[in-house]
Each structure stands twice: as structure tokens, then as C-alpha cells.
Amino acid sequence: MNPIFDELKGKVAVITGGGGVLCGTLANALAKQNVKVAILDLRLENAEAVASEITNEGGTAIGVEANVLNLESLQAARKTVEDKLGICDILINGAGGNHPKGTTSNTHLLADDLKSAEAIKTFFDLDPDGIQFVFNLNFIGTLLPTQVFAKEMVGREGCSIINISSMNAFRPLTKIPAYSGAKAAVSNFTQWLAVHFSKVGIRVNALAPGFFLTDQNRSLLTDADGSLTSRGNTIIEHTPMGRFGEPEDLNGTLLWLCSNASAFVTGVVIPIDGGFSAFSGV
């Protein structure tokens, strides 16, 4: 336990999407500061796996099934959390993701693409249902948990909300317009919430991870033999620190934003990207 973050001891954190690699790591980091952690995930087995890892190391955690797009599911999850751990002090809105139906085949549109006999998905072929799914998962999936868990934070000291934005919100990546737009909305919403909640003692900030190898993007960035794909190489070439992020690279910023060390910080979206957002490519 880091003495800098002593005041986190005994607090209750709720982490949506907590069964994933990045948010599971965040959950472990909080648990090491003696925070009681509720791991919320659509897949209960994933949530319970992370919770078991924490409890096996002496921490306090529970896995809870929750659908961030369903109000009743979130309300049921809140009751479980409050019954077993107490009222939420820290909310991390980590649920999110992309969908193939919101993704183009190529980085640029060429005139011949419209005549091609190959199965090329251009901008004109994007599925509105796929776009809506991605936007709902990332934006509505941040809004609804905040409505459910933040209400009990009002007027209490030391409460904070951490949203998970993305490097896409700063510089939209090619091929994934739905995800880039949705994460830009999360960043904007973070600033809006920070102002809205500023008189009731709730701070709202966001992490904007750069490029981390996860189950969702591994096949896009690496080949079966572990070598980098063309897209993976391009990312590394544009990351001044010359590597992908490790999940643990998020922990320090998370703990700082959750603690009194950042007591006068609200409404910021912090890139954790190895310098990607600072590099012009030249």
C-alpha cells in the first residue's frame, strides 16, 4: 500500500467492464490500496475471476453481473454492491468497445472501391445498427451507470468518477469512425459532468489510453507469430516511447485521480499514450 493514497482505504469502488484486461488491472491497483472493489461485467464469470484474484491476494472484491445498457440491471447491481460492500465512493466507467459493423475495410476511399467486385466495406456501407451499438456501448454505457451510482455520492466527501476515453477522442484513427466518435463523446461528457457535479463534491475525470494490447485488438496489431501487423508497426512508429502500453501503466494516474492528491482536478482527460498524441509524425 502506498502511503500517499492512505485516504482510499475502506472506500468502495465500482468498475464497469471490470472483467477485461485493463479494468481488471485497475481493480487490482485499487484493491492493493485497501479499496473494496465491485467488479461489474456483462459476463459474470469474468467478473468473478478478477474478484477471486483480488481476494486470493487478501483484498476485498465481489463479481457482479451487470448490463451497462439496462437500467434495471444496473439498479440490481447497485443493491448487491451496497448490501455486500457499502455505498459507492469511486465509479470507473470502463465498459466499452468497437464493432466490425462500424468499421471500414480500408483507411482511405478510392474511386475504384465503389466498383470493386471484392467485399470491401466503404463508408457508404457502414451499418447504422453497428454505429448505434458502438455509440450506445461507450456513451450510454457511461451515462447510465453514472445515473445509478453517482446519486449516492452527492454531498459526500472524496467521491470521484473516472471515465475511460481513448486516444481516438484526440486523434480519430482510420477505419473506426464509430468508436472514435463515441469516445469523443465520452471526453465531452466528462467535462460536462465535471461542471454539473462541481457544487456537490463529485470530481469527474477520464483516462485516455493510447495503444495497449488487449483481447479486442490483438489480432489487429499482431500476427499469429507475435510480429507486428502493418497497423501495429504504424502505431509504434508514431509512439515516441516506442512500445505499446502495459495495463499497469494506467495505475498511477488512476490512483492520483481517485485520491486527495488531485483534490483540485476535475474535468480533465489525461492521455496515457507514450507520447502518441504529442507526435506530429515528422
- Which residues are marked as active site? 179
> Which of 62, 89, 90 is closest to 77 using CA atoms?
62
In whole angstroms, give the CA distance from residue 27 to residue 17.
10
The SS3 of residue 99 is coil
AA letter at 141: G
Strands 269-272 and 90-93: unpaired
Angle at 49 between CA 27 and CA 137, to 5 degrees: 65
In whole angstroms, give the CA distance from residue 263 to residue 176.
35
Give the chain's radius of gyration (CA, Å).
Answer: 19
The SS3 of residue 41 is strand
In whole angstroms, give the CA distance from residue 88 to residue 256.
18
Q: Is residue 221 classed exposed, middle or buried when 0-12, 13-18 and 19+ CB atoms within 10 A define those classes? A: buried
Q: Between the CA of residue 115 and those of 101, 103, 105, 119, 123, what are the distances in Å?
A: 20, 19, 15, 11, 14
41 with 21: CB under 8 angstroms? Answer: no
